[in-house]
């Protein structure tokens, strides 16, 4: 990893432009052939639309040639060695132990078999909240801290960092931060959250899950039977609701508490509207489940008149920059503010002074 | 923009947290390590070499390609680039008329000051307005002066720091009589040539102009060094930098208190390697691309972690910036002429301003101050003849230099002084705690990256010679295998580039 080599007066390693062009184009074409499946997968994980169709059309023939002549094998081997790859189905693990009742403690055995869940709609009837399904968190100590997982999409990055700092201050909360940029519940082909959550739950490590999704979710969604719906359509809402419900059920049980963090107001009115629609789904689904609490960030990031502003008065009265110039993400002060709201709920639940 | 900006490119996400909310690289910028750029470059390469015999059209085409490259991210900022080009070209032309054999006329000096100030004010508006409103105005208010400044979030146009540097060096070089004004098309190409546009290296007009003015003698490309630079640059940027950032540097700096002393220490070491890999990787790609188009750029990094003194470090780290700071800031301040303390003041101020250039935050000023103070102390030790010779002294010098540089990086990377202080206190106190983040692979990557800087230079040279002697098909195959390996080992999506924010 040395720096650039010096191009002083010395023997020149000259080549004619035509030859260099040949090497460059030949190298890139060969790279595309060796890499076609990966490129195709990259295109597939783009939001459903014209741009995605264009790139898919570009990569498809390459991928076909690549597969025919097994040129993709080296890359596949590499990916397997690095433990990458995944499908595009939103597969919720079969309810552990076949239990109809979410919230029942899963047996701490091997991971449940994962089956595709075509047509598994929303639970026909919301489970009746019964007191025994409401988690009772123990009061943690420094020797045996509360084990908390916090993660989600890029919005959970700054939030999680702030939460980690505040958790360290309590001395009795051990937090694990696991943000996956550009991910969400809409595109499991980009990042397989159900599979990931299933592993986390099976590990038995965590007592509290703090999740935040939505900023990347307002895009085309594919149902188990292959239909694609766009945000705002009824099919979209039903499928997204099914996934939110599924994840909440997956994370619940075993006396685990789930804190589901909603989206704050956004700079773009249109984007705000979409986030408000997702918040409504989170709120409704959380209300059906005693082990899930919805944490509403919206009022924390609005002006007194209810609008968006990057600069807001903080709890100490100081006006601070809370939002990123992109009009979406939080910056440090905003993250701290949101984390305090979550921490307040968590402290009350675990009776941490 | 928001929803659409969440393509499968996390570029807009991570940068937000990189430096306390500094401007992020755009989600859809044409970054070097993308398919978009590869396609763009192949097309530009073919047309540029076809047009090369028609000298004027060749330059016009390269300017158009550069503007397209810049506009790909945010079309409206192309106007800024064009405006800056027109303004600086006109100032340069008029400045040349104000030169006398003794130097600039009195009015000429004013006029040069006006030209530089206009460039700095533009940069200042985009880059420092927020900092001024948040921090400086707050300081002034403590003295009872209330500045009614609106709180605005100004979007920082990518590359503005770099084309401001190019423009100022052009004006000063004309004023000093070191170069003649360029024609509008030559100047437009100098300012916006796409390989150096976004993140340097900072190229001198005296280095660049002769290369684009020279009539074509032979159509020969230094291809082997170019490909080597591009592939090595991609590997550093896409694989090494991303791995270290995600694995330990980002988590540690986000919450030092959640990590042990060892993790904090390795978080700092990792960041030192990360910023080198990221930045030198990017400029290596830039130098390689320019070379493929027949233009030589100056070297920008020369194994900086080999340095055995801070002075040595600054001769190896971001060399084109050091050179710029020396010629356009340090020397005008008085440079080495004058009493010792005056020279030390110049040195310290230069580093302080160099720090502030990197970002609008006090932590960057602290970074500059540490380097400034270190350089002054080093000079004083030398002046008193306390500088020891010998291999052992050199080794000690290397250890001390590396750790002073790392210490300064803590302030460079931390979002606040509080966070920087926390990293330092954790390193001092939190020993004996479990350190799951410090894995053998991580230690190997950090150690290997630093050790690689001690490799003899002619090793790369020998590789380039061997590569250039291969048949074209073999060259293409090697290129392809390298690209696939980098893609497989790299992250999913393109990580942001640290230096976009500077």
The pLDDT of residue B148: 61
- CA nearest A30 in B: which residue? B480
Query: Would you tell me the crossing angle of helices B35-51 and A17-44 to the nearest 10 degrees?
Result: 160
Q: Which A-chain residues 86-125 have CB contacts (< 8 A) with chain B?
A: none
The pLDDT of residue B257: 87
Query: Which residue in B166, B318, B358, B371 is the catalytic one?
Result: B358
Query: Within an 8 Å CB–CB cutoff, is residue B142 touching chain A?
Result: no
Query: Within an 8 Å CB–CB cutoff, is residue B229 touching chain A?
Result: yes
Calculate the CA dihedral of residues B353, B358, B362, B365 and round it to 10 degrees.
-40
Beta strand A208-212 pairing with A146-152:
parallel
Q: How confident is the model at residue A12 (pLDDT cuts 50, 70, 90)?
A: low
Q: Which residues of B touch A154 (CB under 8 A)?
A: 6, 10, 12-14, 16
Of A14, A82, A325, the CB nearest to B23: A325
Query: Within an 8 Å CB–CB cutoff, is residue B216 touching chain A?
Result: no
- CA nearest A215 in B: which residue? B3
> Is-contact A222 A191, C-beta < 8 A?
no
Interchain proximity B221–A16, CB inside 8 Å: yes
CA distance A131 to chain B (A): 35
The pLDDT of residue A335: 94
Interchain proximity B415–A332, CB inside 8 Å: yes
A127 versus A24: which is more confidently predicted?
Answer: A24
Q: What are the C-alpha distances in Å from A228 to residues A53, A219, A287?
A: 13, 10, 28
Give the span between the Cα atoms of B19 and A46, in whole angstroms: 28
A46-89 pLDDT tens trace: 777 787 888 888 888 888 888 888 888 888 888 777 766 555 55
Q: Is residue A244's pLDDT more than 80?
A: yes
The pLDDT of residue A42: 75
The pLDDT of residue B226: 93
The pLDDT of residue A119: 36
Which residue of B11, B19, B27, B35 is the best one to mutate when testing the A interface, meaning the one whose CB has the most A CBs within 10 A? B35
- CA nearest B415 in A: which residue? A332
DSSP annotation string for B346-399: HHHHHHHHHHHHH-SSHHHHHHHHHHHHHHHHHHHHHHTT----SHHHHHHHHH
Calculate the CA dihedral of residues B293, B294, B295, B300 and round it to 10 degrees.
80
Give the span between the Cα atoms of A316 and B379, in whole angstroms: 46
Q: Which A-chain residues 190-249 have CB contacts (< 8 A) with chain B?
A: 190, 215-216, 218-219
Is B358 assigned a catalytic role? Answer: yes
Q: Is residue A116's pLDDT more than 70?
A: no
Q: In whole numbers, what is the pLDDT of chain A averaged over residues?
A: 80
The pLDDT of residue B101: 83
Which residue of B1, B9, B16, B302 is the best one to mutate when testing the A interface, meaning the one whose CB has the most A CBs within 10 A? B16
In percent, the amount of chain A with pLDDT more than 70 equals: 82
**pTM exceeding the 0.95 threshold for the entire prediction:** no
**pLDDT 10s digit of each residue in chain B, 502 long?**
222 222 222 222 222 223 332 333 344 455 777 788 888 999 999 999 999 888 899 999 999 999 999 888 778 888 989 999 999 999 999 998 888 888 888 888 899 999 999 998 988 888 777 666 766 666 666 666 665 666 666 666 677 888 899 999 999 999 998 889 999 999 999 999 999 988 879 999 999 998 888 766 677 888 899 999 999 999 998 899 988 988 889 889 988 988 889 999 999 999 999 999 999 999 999 999 999 999 999 999 999 999 999 999 999 999 999 999 999 999 988 888 888 889 999 999 999 988 888 877 889 999 999 999 999 999 888 888 766 677 888 888 899 999 999 999 999 999 888 889 999 999 999 888 888 888 999 999 999 999 999 998 888 889 988 998 888 899 999 999 999 888 888 776 444 433 333 4
The pLDDT of residue A10: 46
The pLDDT of residue A94: 56
Q: Which A-chain residues 121-150 have CB contacts (< 8 A) with chain B?
A: none
Interchain proximity B49–A12, CB inside 8 Å: no
**Burial group, residue B145, by CB count within 10 angstroms (0-12, 13-18, 19+):** exposed
Q: How confident is the model at residue A114 (pLDDT cuts 50, 70, 90)?
A: very low
Q: Could you tell me the sign of the dihedral formed by the alpha carbons of B373, B374, B379, B381, in that order?
A: positive
> Is-contact B211 B462, C-beta < 8 A?
no
Give the span between the Cα atoms of B486 and B480, in whole angstroms: 10
Helix %, strand %, coil % for chain B, to 5?
70, 0, 25
Average pLDDT over residues A108-132: 39
Query: Within an 8 Å CB–CB cutoff, is residue B45 touching chain A?
Result: yes
A24-38 pLDDT tens trace: 999 999 988 888 877
Q: Which B-chain residues 332-371 have CB contacts (< 8 A) with chain A?
A: none
Decide: helix, strand or coil at residue A15: strand
For chains A and B, what is the number of CB pairs under 8 angstroms? 253
β-bridge mates for residue A319, sequence order: A313
The pLDDT of residue B163: 87
The pLDDT of residue B357: 82
């Amino acid at each position: 990893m040395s720096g650039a080599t010096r191009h002083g007066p010395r023997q020149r390693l000259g080549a004619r432009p035509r030859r260099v062009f040949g090497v460059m184009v030949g190298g890139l074409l060969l790279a595309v052939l060796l890499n076609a499946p990966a490129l195709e997968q990259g295109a597939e994980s783009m939001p459903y639309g014209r741009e995605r169709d264009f790139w898919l059309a570009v990569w498809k023939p390459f991928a076909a040639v690549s597969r025919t002549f097994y040129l993709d094998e080296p890359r596949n081997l590499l990916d397997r060695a690095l433990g990458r790859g995944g499908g595009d189905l939103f597969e919720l693990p079969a309810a552990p132990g076949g239990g109809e009742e979410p919230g029942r403690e899963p047996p701490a055995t091997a991971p449940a078999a994962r089956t595709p869940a075509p047509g598994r709609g929303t639970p026909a009837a919301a489970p009746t909240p019964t007191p025994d399904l409401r988690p009772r968190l123990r009061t943690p100590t420094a020797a045996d801290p509360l084990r908390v997982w916090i993660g989600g999409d890029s919005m959970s990055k700054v939030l999680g960092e702030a939460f980690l700092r505040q958790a360290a201050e309590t001395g009795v909360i051990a937090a694990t931060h696991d943000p996956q940029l550009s991910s969400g519940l809409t595109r499991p082909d980009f990042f397989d959250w159900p599979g990931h959550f299933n592993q986390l739950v099976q590990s038995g490590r965590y007592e509290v899950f703090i999740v935040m999704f939505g900023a990347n979710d307002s895009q085309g969604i594919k149902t188990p039977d292959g239909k694609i719906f766009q945000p705002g359509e009824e099919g979209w809402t039903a499928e997204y609701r099914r996934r939110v419900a599924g994840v909440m059920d997956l994370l619940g049980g075993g006396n685990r508490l789930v804190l589901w963090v909603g989206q704050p107001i956004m700079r773009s009115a249109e984007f705000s509207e979409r986030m408000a629609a997702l918040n409504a789904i989170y709120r409704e689904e959380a209300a059906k489940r005693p082990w899930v609490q919805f944490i509403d960030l919206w009022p924390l990031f609005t002006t007194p008149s209810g609008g968006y502003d990057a600069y807001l008065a903080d709890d100490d009265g100081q006006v601070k920059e809370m939002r990123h110039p992109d009009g979406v993400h939080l910056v440090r002060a905003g993250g701290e503010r949101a984390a305090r709201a979550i921490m307040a709920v968590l402290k009350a639940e675990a009776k941490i002074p | 923009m928001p929803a659409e900006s969440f393509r499968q490119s996390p570029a807009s996400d991570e940068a937000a947290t990189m430096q306390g909310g500094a401007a992020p690289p755009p989600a859809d910028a044409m970054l070097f390590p993308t398919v978009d750029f590869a396609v763009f470059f192949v097309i530009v390469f073919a047309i540029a070499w076809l047009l090369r015999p028609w000298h004027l059209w060749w330059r016009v085409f390269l300017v158009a390609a550069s503007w397209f490259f810049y506009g790909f991210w945010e079309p409206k900022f192309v106007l800024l680039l064009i405006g800056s080009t027109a303004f600086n070209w006109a100032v340069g032309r008029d400045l040349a008329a104000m030169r006398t054999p003794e130097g600039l006329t009195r009015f000429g000096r004013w006029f040069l000051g006006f030209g530089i100030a206009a460039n700095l004010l533009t940069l200042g508006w985009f880059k420092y307005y927020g900092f001024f409103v948040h921090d400086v105005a707050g300081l002034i208010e403590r003295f009872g002066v209330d500045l009614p400044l609106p709180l605005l979030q100004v979007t920082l146009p990518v590359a503005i720091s770099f084309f401001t540097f190019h423009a100022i060096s052009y004006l000063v070089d004309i004023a000093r009589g070191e170069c003649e004004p360029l024609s509008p098309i030559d100047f437009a190409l100098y300012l916006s040539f796409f390989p150096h546009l976004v993140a340097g290296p900072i190229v001198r007009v005296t280095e660049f102009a002769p290369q684009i003015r020279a009539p074509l003698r032979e159509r020969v490309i230094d291809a082997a060094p170019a490909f080597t630079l591009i592939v090595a640059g991609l590997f550093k940027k896409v694989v090494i930098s991303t791995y270290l950032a995600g694995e330990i540097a980002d988590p540690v700096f986000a919450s030092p208190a959640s990590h042990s002393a060892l993790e904090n220490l390795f978080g700092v070491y990792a960041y030192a390697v990360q910023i080198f890999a990221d930045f030198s990787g990017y400029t290596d790609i830039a130098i390689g691309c320019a070379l493929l188009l027949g233009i030589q750029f100056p070297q920008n990094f020369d194994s900086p972690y080999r340095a055995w003194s801070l002075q040595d470090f600054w001769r190896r780290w971001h060399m084109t910036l050091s050179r710029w700071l020396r010629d356009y800031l340090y020397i005008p301040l008085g440079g080495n002429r004058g009493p010792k303390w005056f020279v030390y003041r110049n040195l310290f101020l230069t580093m302080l301003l160099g720090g502030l250039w990197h970002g609008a935050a006090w932590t960057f000023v602290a970074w500059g101050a540490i380097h400034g103070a270190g350089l002054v102390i080093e000079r004083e030790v030398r002046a008193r003849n306390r500088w020891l010779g010998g291999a052992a002294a050199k080794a000690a010098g290397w250890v001390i230099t590396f750790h002073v540089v790392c210490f300064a990086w803590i302030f460079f990377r931390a979002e606040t002084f509080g966070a920087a202080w926390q990293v330092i206190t954790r390193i001092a106190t939190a020993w004996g705690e479990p350190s799951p983040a410090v894995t053998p692979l991580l230690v190997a990557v950090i150690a290997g990256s630093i050790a690689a800087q001690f490799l003899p230079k002619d090793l790369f040279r020998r590789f380039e010679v061997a590569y250039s002697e291969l048949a074209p098909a073999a060259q293409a195959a090697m290129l392809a295998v390298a690209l696939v390996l980098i893609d497989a080992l790299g992250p999913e999506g393109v990580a942001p580039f640290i230096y976009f924010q500077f």
